[in-house]
Amino acid sequence: MNKEDLLKKYPKTDTFEIVGSTGVPHPYVIGPRHIAYASKHHGGMLGKDAIRNMERAEGHGCCMFKNCQLTHDEHEVALIVGVRSELPLEQVPGLQEYLQSCAPLAEQDNVKGFTFKKLPKEG
């Protein structure tokens, strides 16, 4: 299942919808070493196999921070919940219920949390 199909399976309401995902504790960052390794060993194809092979061969992973020691697989996923409301997040009616409705799918998909993004009101 691709990422777009994965996100579509989550519930959508007039106020809430899953609009994307992000890495936890931060997105995995590709750097020049990744590109060079993929070019040399994977015919230029920079996919998960190339990233994992480079991490094993060179001991180098994420380029977000010099001290990030996490591998690609150790970076986890949080879902981005789009919220259509002008109220502060803690005052938006139905938020807790919406998250609870997403929780079983999120657990099944190994999602580690949620973050929020204000969306314009539809209309």
pLDDT in tens, 19-46: 999 999 999 999 998 999 999 999 999 9
Same domain for 100 and 58?
no
Rounded distance, CA 81 to CA 119, Å? 9
CB 33 within 8 A of CB 96: no
How many structural domains comprise the chain? 2
Token output for 78:
């949080």
Give the domain extent around 70: 28-74
pLDDT 10s digits, 53-103: 999 998 878 988 777 888 999 999 999 999 999 999 999 999 999 999 999
Do 92 and 123 lie in one domain? The reply is yes
Return the structure tokens found at 79. 């879902």
Residues 121 and 81 in one domain: yes
Query: Are 46 and 33 contained in the same domain?
Result: yes
In terms of Cα–Cα distance, which of 13, 9, 8 is closest to 97? 13
Same domain for 70 and 83, yes or no, is no
- Can you tell me whether residue 116 is helix, strand or coil? strand
